Each structure stands twice: as structure tokens, then as C-alpha cells.
Structure 1
Amino acid sequence: MKYLILSTMVGMVFFLTACNNSATEQHVKTDSMASKKDWWKEVVVYQIYPRSFKDSNGDGVGDLKGIISKLDYIKSLGIDVVWLNPIFESPNKDNGYDISNYEAIMKDFGTMADFDTLLHGMHERGIKLVLDLVANHSSNQNKWFIEARKSRKNPYYNYYHWWPAEKGKPPFRQGFFDINGSAWTFNPATNSYYLHYFSQYQPDLNWENPKVREEIFDMMKFWFNKGIDGFRMDVIPFISKDTSFPVITPEILKEKYNGDWAQYYASGPNLHEYLREMNAQVLSKYTDMSVAEGAGVTLETANKFVDANRHELNMLYNFDGVSYGYVPGKFKTPEPDGYKLPGFKQIYTRWDSVFATKGWGTIYLGNHDQPRMVTRWGNDSPEFREPSSKMLTTFLLSMRATPYYYFGDELGMCNIKFDKIDDYRDIETLNMYQQIKNKGGNLQEFLNAQKISARDNGRTPFQWSNAPNAGFTTGTPWIKVNPNYATVNVEDEAKEPNSCLNYFKKMVLLRKTYKDVLVYGKYQLLDPDNPKIYAYTRGNGANKVLVILNFSKDHVGWDIPEGMQVKPTPLINNYNSFLPGKTISMEPYQAVIVGLQ
């Protein structure tokens, strides 16, 4: 263990010397990039799902006071920004993504005074706070919708999208969380159907109404004026609608939108006009960080959101990576033989190229909408959980994009893999199960797939210790705790120098120490067709590193490209072994970053 720490330190010294001795030309290049060096490009974002982080009062639900009690732990990780999932008042049909009051705190989570204390505590520790902006839809318990559904004459009626029943049934739209798969629900009082791209409890707001945009912008200012540092914007590409609601046939969907409803939803006629208006009225007035959840965004449309010259948003994250490796036409069903690495590499290489000269991207492998990254992209068996977790951490923190890291992944937390539908809490899983049941489908096949892909796998309580309920709560947790908390927890990993937790801290430090290389440096893929090794360089000119990642459980030899010479000591290595030469011998799930001579 001491050898590993020492070799890493020595490697840093060797590499830092090379950086300081690089040519004047490289110094000029670095200076020329100064205008592009924004703080939100250099941060590591740590996402907290508050319901599952830490419960302070024994009711089984994580809360703001629980987060406050763990601020020193968050600080110890070395991260710069916390993205907090919704904490606003909500009936919790979609765990907070159905908001009934945008300027109040959900009672399960605490009070506004608790929020103020949390924000102050984060800023005191040099941590910025980003909140979720859920503005495509509200809760059906929001006062706007309660009024809107009373009468067509109600002034709030036009805060939402409606289809009058006298015109017949509305043209089909996909409802992602709806049991029947429809995005329209009939409202008897108004004799009309309201639109909801997600569940019937989440009616879509009518951004075509200037009053709605004014309400949203005022709400954003409310939180900025309290001192927050930015917003992650939930399905923000969906906010603009073609209010003529044309018929969309399967043929039209396939021809124009690759058969993807999300691409159609992200192609509203006034979308970018509304984002520029948001920027002019709100975002430009604050030193903000804004990131779009890029549902439906393609390689071709990405820079319309984040090209700085367009004055819209800072960055977005895409779904191509996390959607890879599923069986086409089946709901989140993993390929039987697992995903293929060459395709994985191709996706991330293409997205890097989109932002090579303008705009900025993000990278993530897990979040509240995804399973645990070790189970999905690594190997959660007892033998390989730790090395594959470290390998994936190395990948995330060595790519040219702002990394978003999901809480618990620093411990190597993995999927709980529920056997029964009764153990699930997520509206997506529950409604899809019912939809398949109604159609007479294969429920066991669905449950088997959910063990790998269900969102609740990433929502189980954070594992603080080997105490009952992993130290998360003294009560009954809102969702079951993963039984492996007995060995996978903060308390034990903090004591082990080579744990997943301590490796994460080292990798964060490495990214910050060499930000000219690991944040801003050019990315170049090597050996694209290799089915087990993902290798690439980062950097410019003489200031470069080589990243070698073994995405397999096999011992693999990898040939260094002709003319490339590596330094003898890695900057970071999740094993003790590394022998430089023409062929690098890689252990299962080994990750190495090494300087180039």
C-alpha cells in the first residue's frame, strides 16, 4: 500500500517537472485558452439524492439536517459542487419531480431555515450548490393546476396544454410514465384533455404563455437571490410545444426523429427562443452554472444549447452513453452478453468531438435515473467490484468534460437487485410493470431486467457504516438498504488507504492538479476496435498523458503505439503492478494514467 501511495507521489513529481519544462509554444497555447477557462468546466460535481443520503430524525427519509451533519464528509471528497435533487414541496408521485410549490421546502426534508443553514455551510466550506429546475411540468397539486382544471375560463387554464373534447380524441403523444402509455388525460370539469409527457400527476406547463415564463423566471431569481450557484434543468429541451399538435405517425417519427419521441419533444419551435430569454432575464445576471438534462438532444443539435455565442446554457449531458447496451424495442433490457466496448468508446469519442472547438459537455455513468455504475458498466462480483469501480472512476475523471459523480459511487455501491415488484418505489418501474401485466407480457423477464436497469437501484440509502440500516436512519428506511453495507461503507473504507473511497479522492486531486491536461487537454482515442481496452491520450504538444483502462475481467496485454514512450511511474494506478515497455500487461479492470516522454 505504501508503495502505491509513494509511486503516485513520485509520478506526480516527474510529470509536474515535465509540465514546467515544456516549450514556450505550449505556454502560449495555455495562455490562449484563458478565455475558455470557466469555473464550471473545472469542477467535479457530486450529486446527492436527498431522500437517501442521511436521515436526521428517524422517519426513514433523508433530509436537509442529515446533509448538514455530513458536510465535512462532502468536503473531504475534494468535490467543488453539489447538485441536489428536488427538495421542493411535492406530493412525491415522482419523488419530488412533481412540484406543488416551487418556493417551499418539502416537509419530509425540513424547513427553509434548514436550507439556509445548508447553503451557508456549503459556501463556508467552498462548495457550490446547484438545484434542480423542474420547469417542463408541475405537480397536479400545484395551485396553478388546481385552478386550471376547474374551468376553461379560469386564468390559470392557459398555464397548461389542453385539447378540447369537442375536437375528438387528441393526436397520440407518448406518456413516459403513464400506465397506458398516453400523454393525454381527460379532465371532466373542462371537457378537455391535458398534456403530460410523463405521468398524469405531472401536467406540462405552457411555456407559450408569457405569464408562465415570467413565473418560472421569478422563481429562478428567488433561489439565486438566496445564494444558490446554478440549476440542473430537468428535461428542459421539452418545454416548447407545437400547439397545433399535428398527427405524428410511426412513419413520421421514424423518418424525422429516428423513431424517438424524446427527439420529437426536444424539437419544439420556440425552444431556443425561450432559453435565450431565460439567459437574458435570469442566467446572465448571476455567476451561474446551468446544465441541461439533454433528453432528445442529438450530436447535431447539442451546440444549439451550449455554444457560448448563442447565450443559452453552459453545458448539457446526453443520453447516448447510458442508453447503450439495451435490447432495441424492449424497455431497459440489457443485451444478454453485455455491452460492447468499441461501441461505448465510439459514443464518448463522438460526443467529445462535438465540443472540441465550442460548447462544453458533461460526463456521467450514474445518477438518480440510472442503476449503479459498477453493476451497469463494471463488475459487481465480490472479486471485481473494487477494481472495476476504481477503473470507472478513472474514466469519468480523466475525460474532457465536466464530470458528474453520483453519491455512493465513491464507495463502489452496487445494485440491490430486488426480486419482487413490492420492493420497488419508483413510478417508472411500477407503471411499466402494470403496463406489461395489462398486455399479458412476461413479468419475470421484466423483473430480471430491472435488477440491472431500474432507477431504484441507484436510490437505496447511502452506506455510512456497518451499523443497522447502514447508519442511514434509526427508523425504517423508505426503501431497503443494500445488504452489502456490512463491508461497503464510509466508516470502513475511510480506514483503508486503497479503498474505493480513497482512490476517488486521489483521482479528484489528480484532475485538479493537472487541469490543463485532464480538463482542457485534447482527447485522442487509441485502438478504437479493441474489445477490452479503452486507451486515449489527454493533453497538448509535449504536455500529455496516456490513459489505459481494462474494461474486462481478463488479463490483457496492450501494445503501446509505435513511437510513443511512457514514463516509468504512473500518475495513478488501481493496482500495485505496472511494467512499462512495448506491451503493457493489464490486470482485470486495471486503470493506469501515465505521463508520456
Structure 2
Amino acid sequence: MAWWKNSIVYQIYPRSFADGNNDGVGDIPGIIERIPYLAELGVDVVWLSPVYRSPMDDNGYDISDYQDIHPEFGTMQDFDRMLETMHQYGIRLIMDLVVNHSSDEHSWFTMAREGRDSPTRDYYIWRDPAPNGGPPNNWTSFFSGSAWEFDESSGQYYLHLFSKKQPDLNWENPELRQRIWEMMRWWLDRGVDGFRMDVINLISKTPGLPDGVVGDSPLVGTEHYVNGPRFLEFMDEMQREVLGKYETITVGELIDGTRDRALELTRPELERLNMIFTFEHVMVDHGPRGKYDPVPFDPARLRSVLYTWQREVAREGWNSLYLSNHDQPRHVSRYGNDQTYWAESAKLWALVLHGLRGTPYVYQGEEIGMTNYPFTSIDQFRDIEALNAYDAMRNEYGMSDEEALRRLNAHSRDHARTPVQWQADMEEVFPHPWIAVNPNATAVNVQSQLKDSNSVWELYRRAIGYRSELPVLTGDWSAMAEDHPGAFVFARSCDDQLLLVLANPTDDAIELDLATGDFPSGWEQLVAEVNPRLILSSVQDMRELPRAVSFEPARVVLQPWEAAWLLWDRR
């Protein structure tokens, strides 16, 4: 079995991870200092969000030089030292590959702007104005407004699906693709172990760039640039030119990624990608108009999406498993009760996620149960997407300040970007931060949890350890009790082990009857005759685990926010 199938990936968002020089911005020296911490947690792979040279319009996802380090993060020598240290600890490193767009300050684009005959003009997507003098089509940006920006010097518009400072690259140009392959090989030859590919399925656009269909969503044009006509062709070329020549771990971020497309990319015989990031499960609390049109969280809806991906993708292809990352609010606040049942909520979702079939991704601070920031003013936000959305809600849709802030607080990316809470006195380790520290750092922090053998951190450490210790966690997956309105009940099985995962993501106790449930074939009699070991729990004292427990399938009672791993072992 491929090594990455029972590995744990930890995402570092460098601006907010660890500040090594006390300037208020996380950096590579800060990361180096914390590598022993990552090793103690049990991390196998680090996914590093962009540290490339950048104007920081979108916090590094606008790259002005793909082969240099942004000065606020350190130097290339710092990077090499970090990579070497990670490898010494047995941790692999994957970089963010951001090649749907570059920065408008990249030399390719500054040269392209010099005139229509520029050698790099065709590295980007330019079009003449529409007959009315406006944008070439009606496509909209993910960051609000038109996806086109007028360039006065040449009299043409250029396409930007994100910020106007992030012009889209023209993958139809073979010379551009060769420049990208050269850059990827440069990093892999330096020792990097793979790539997380940012919005990779946007790289192919429909020829002619026709108008999009206008519907309920504020996004227009997605049918012409999501999973475009040459996307798989470009991925096959990437495999031939680069990835097939190295031993790598690769994950592609797919906007509106379907299960069929996931299989087209992750089936082993196709050798395109190891796994993909989908968004379907983190859109279950989005309304018709997207993330800033929030609807109440329904655990059954999340369960349905996760289970569907387990059935349709995890067997033939492979899943990445995540609930939080740099683009999502903190899931203990979003899907849990971060007040009365804060620790139980954090532990429950860890047990659900790490119990599924796929490769788990832990986002920095998740392992201590970091929560959303209590934003009260637009001045506290830093993310360009949030600021643009606020302006659109106020000026285009006529919302009050209170309503716009309520919507931002539901799903702003800035919730994930507050500094990692290393200790109660954050001024000592992250002074004058670029974005405010969550005030609950005095209670929720790494230092206190490392001393507590019943902490959220300790549960993560144990769950991560079991991923490599228990063969069953790379075995089969099967669902149970799907008729229950909210409970998660599923089994993992292999020849020698059966793991039952139970979770109640509600504020009320529930009772389940599993006596008539379909345990994996060959295990029914053993379950009826032999009690399991409770190896992890969100509500019981972990200092007393693992231990044998009485199990009655006809009456399983779960307390509020209780989750458990029950193990039967024939060995």
C-alpha cells in the first residue's frame, strides 16, 4: 500500500504559524523551531502554504517569483534548512503550487503589459472590450465583481478569476506550460516531496470565452472554466513531463469537484494525482447565494456528503479528509458547540475524520481545538475576499452593517488565519501580530494542553498514532444506522480487526439500536459474543484508555457530543 495512505498531513499557513523574529508575521525560522512539536504530534507530511515572493495581495497566493522566498518569511537558505530538518525528523514537505494565476507583479506579466507584441503577452488571457466598451464577457470573480480588468496601456482586458492582482495564466500556450514544468522540477530537485495544487481544475477555459449562465449564485461563468475541456489533457502532460519522473505526494484542489472527476484523477492506474480536495462537504451550510448566505448546520447533510464520497471515491480512488484549512472557518465553531461542549466537539470531529477512509489533513491549531475569532468590526478583517464581500453586501445588496458582519462571521477565511495559540501569553511568542490573536488563547493553547493527558491535543496525538498502528484504518469502510437523523455510525474492517466509530454531534443524548444493523460480513457473531476495547473517546478520561467495555448492540446510548472508537481484534 502507498505510504501516503496511512499518513497524516499537517497544513502550515506560515504568516500565522510561528514568529521567529518577533516582527508580527510567522516565518520559516519560526517553523524550524516547531518541527520537534510536529514530530511529537506524529505528523508525516507538512503542506506549506505559499512562501514565495509576493506582494501579499492575497496573502501569498499571488506569486511574483515562483523560485524565490518572500523576505518576510526568510531566505532560500532558511527554506533549505527547514526542509533538511523536516527530513531529519522523517517529515516530508509538499509545497503549494499556484499556477492558475500569478501576481500582476510577476516578470511575465510586467513584460506582457509592455505591449501586444511582448514575448510573454500570450502567457495571460487578453481580450478586446465588448462592443459596448465593457468587459469581454459576463464572468464574475470569486472575490466579487467582474473577472476582467482593463489595461489602459494596451486597450485590452485581462482575465482574473480572483483578485485583479492575480491575472489568470493562459495554459493554451505550450511555452508557458514548459516554464511551469521547469519550475516544478526545480523544486523537486531541491528535495521537495510533492505539491498541493491550488484551484488546479480552473486552468482550462472554454474556447471563445462565451458568456456564462446567470442564476442564483453570484458567480457567473463557472461552466466555462471549472473542469474545462483540456483539463485532463494538461494533467496528463504534467504527469509525463514532471510527476512521473519523481516519487511525490500530490493533491489537487478542485472547485466544484465531482466524484466522477475525482476518480478520473485519483484512480491508481491513471497516475494523475494521489488525491483531491473537494468542497462539497464544506458547502453544506451555504445558502443559494454561496458562503455569505449561511444556513443552519445539519449534521445529517454533512454525513450524507461524507458517506457518498466514501462509497463512490474511497474504494477505487482515494480521499483527502479535512474539515478546516486556511480557506474555511474553524470547524469546532462551525459544526460543534464551542461553548458548553468545546473540548467534546473538538474531539468528536477528530474521531469522525480520522476514522474515515482516506488521508487526514490537520490544519494548524485544529489539534488544540482553536475556535473562530469574535469579530465585531470590519476593521478587524484582513482577507481581501472578506473585505470585497463586505463592500458588495453593503453597496450592491443594501445590507446593514450588522447583517454584513453577521454573514462574514459565519464563513470568513480570517477565522482560520489568527495566530496559532502556543501559550497563554501570546505577546511573548507572537508580538504585534498582523491579525489579532483570539482572546481565548489564555485558556486554549498548546502549552497548557501538552501538560494535560486528557486534552484535545492528546486525543489528536493518539488518533494520529493509531492511523499507522491499526491495519483496519486502511481497510474497508461501511455505514450503519443511516436512518438516524444525526448520528455518525460506521465501521472499518480488515481480516483481523473491526473498528466501530460512533458519534453524536448534538447537545442531546441519543439512543441507537445496532442489533439489526449490518456489521461487516464475518463479524456479526464476534460482536455478539465478545466485548470490544474502547480505545478513544471524546467524553471519557483518556488516562483510563484503552480498556475493555460492555457492548450491547440493542441499546447504545451516546451522551451529548460523545464519540468513540471501539475495536475488536482477532490477532
2:269 paired residue among 309, 312, 326: 309
Residues 184-208 of structure 1: per-residue CA shift (max 9 Å, x gap): 1110111100001111010000010
Work out the CA distance in 2 between the residues paired with 1:550 and 1:265: 39
Q: Which residue of structure 2 aligns with residue 68 of structure 1?
A: 32
Matched position secondary structure for 1:375: helix
Q: Which residue of structure 1 aligns with residue 546 of structure 2?
A: none
Q: Which residue of structure 2 aligns with residue 20 of structure 1?
A: none
Over the matched positions of the two proteins, sequence identity in percent amounts to: 39
Matched position secondary structure for 1:76: helix
Structure 1: which 5+ residue stretches go unaligned?
1-36
Q: Give how far 1:107 is off.
A: 0.6
Work out the CA distance in 1 between the residues paired with 2:125 and 2:181: 19
Q: Which residue of structure 1 aligns with residue 248 of structure 2?
A: 288
Q: Is the 8 A contact 1:523 1:539 kept in 2?
A: yes
1:584 paired residue among 526, 550, 556: 556
| Alignment CA distance shift 1:262-1:123 (3 Å) | farther
Using CA pairs under 8 Å that are at least 6 residues apart, name the structure with larger relative contact order, 1 or 2: 1
Q: Is the 8 A contact 1:263 1:297 kept in 2?
A: no
Q: Which residue of structure 1 aligns with residue 504 of structure 2?
A: 550
| Alignment CA distance shift 1:203-1:507 (3 Å) | same
Comparing 160-169 and 291-300, the one that deviates more: 160-169
Matched position secondary structure for 1:219: helix
2:110 paired residue among 127, 146, 162: 146
Kindly indicate whether residue 15 of structure 2 is the aligned counterpart of residue 46 of structure 1.
Answer: no
Q: Which residue of structure 2 aligns with residue 7 of structure 1?
A: none
1:227 paired residue among 183, 188, 191: 191
Matched position secondary structure for 2:281: coil
Matched position secondary structure for 1:349: helix
Q: Is the 8 A contact 1:352 1:400 kept in 2?
A: yes
Q: Which residue of structure 2 aligns with residue 501 of structure 1?
A: 457
Residues 462-487 of structure 1: per-residue CA shift (max 9 Å, x gap): 11111243x432x3100000011111
Residues 138-196 of structure 1: per-residue CA shift (max 9 Å, x gap): 00011111111121011111010011137554111121114xx2101110111100001
Q: Give how far 1:450 is off.
A: 2.0
Work out the CA distance in 1 between the residues paired with 2:247 and 2:487: 40
Q: Is the 8 A contact 1:408 1:463 kept in 2?
A: yes
Kindly indicate whether residue 308 of structure 2 is the aligned counterpart of residue 350 of structure 1.
Answer: yes
| Aligned pairs for 1:322-341 within 5 A | 322-335=282-295, 338-341=296-299
Q: Which residue of structure 2 aligns with residue 454 of structure 1?
A: 412
| Alignment CA distance shift 1:359-1:457 (3 Å) | same
Work out the CA distance in 1 between the residues paired with 2:315 and 2:34: 39
Kindly indicate whether residue 139 of structure 2 is the aligned counterpart of residue 173 of structure 1.
Answer: yes
Work out the CA distance in 2 between the residues paired with 1:453 and 1:472: 28
Work out the CA distance in 2 between the residues paired with 1:249 and 1:576: 52
Letter in 2 for 1:518: L
TM-score (norm 2): 0.93
Q: Which residue of structure 2 aligns with residue 377 of structure 1?
A: 335
| Aligned pairs for 1:479-518 within 5 A | 479-514=435-470, 516-518=471-473
Kindly indicate whether residue 239 of structure 2 is the aligned counterpart of residue 279 of structure 1.
Answer: yes
Q: Give how far 1:262 is off.
A: 4.2
| Alignment CA distance shift 1:575-1:165 (3 Å) | closer
| Aligned pairs for 1:99-498 within 5 A | 99-165=63-129, 168-169=133-134, 170-178=136-144, 181-250=145-214, 261-262=221-222, 264-335=224-295, 338-381=296-339, 383-439=340-396, 440-469=398-427, 471-473=428-430, 475-498=431-454
Q: Is the 8 A contact 1:79 1:127 kept in 2?
A: yes
Number of equivalences: 548
Q: Is the 8 A contact 1:517 1:543 kept in 2?
A: yes
Q: Give how far 1:356 is off.
A: 4.2
Q: Is the 8 A contact 2:125 2:170 kept in 1?
A: yes
Q: Is the 8 A contact 1:45 1:404 kept in 2?
A: yes
Which stretches of structure 1, 4 residues or longer, exceed 3 Å deviation after superposition?
166-169, 258-264, 563-566
Letter in 2 for 1:211: E
Letter in 1 for 2:349: L
CA-atom RMSD in angstroms: 1.9
TM-score (norm 1): 0.89
Work out the CA distance in 1 between the residues paired with 2:364 and 2:219: 33
Comparing 318-327 and 351-360, the one that deviates more: 351-360
Q: Is the 8 A contact 1:263 1:295 kept in 2?
A: no
Comparing 201-210 and 449-458, the one that deviates more: 449-458
Matched position secondary structure for 2:307: helix
Matched position secondary structure for 1:250: coil
Q: Give how far 1:426 is off.
A: 0.2
| Alignment CA distance shift 1:82-1:154 (3 Å) | same
Q: Is the 8 A contact 1:63 1:109 kept in 2?
A: yes
Comparing 123-132 and 534-543, the one that deviates more: 534-543
Matched position secondary structure for 1:346: helix
Letter in 2 for 1:576: Q
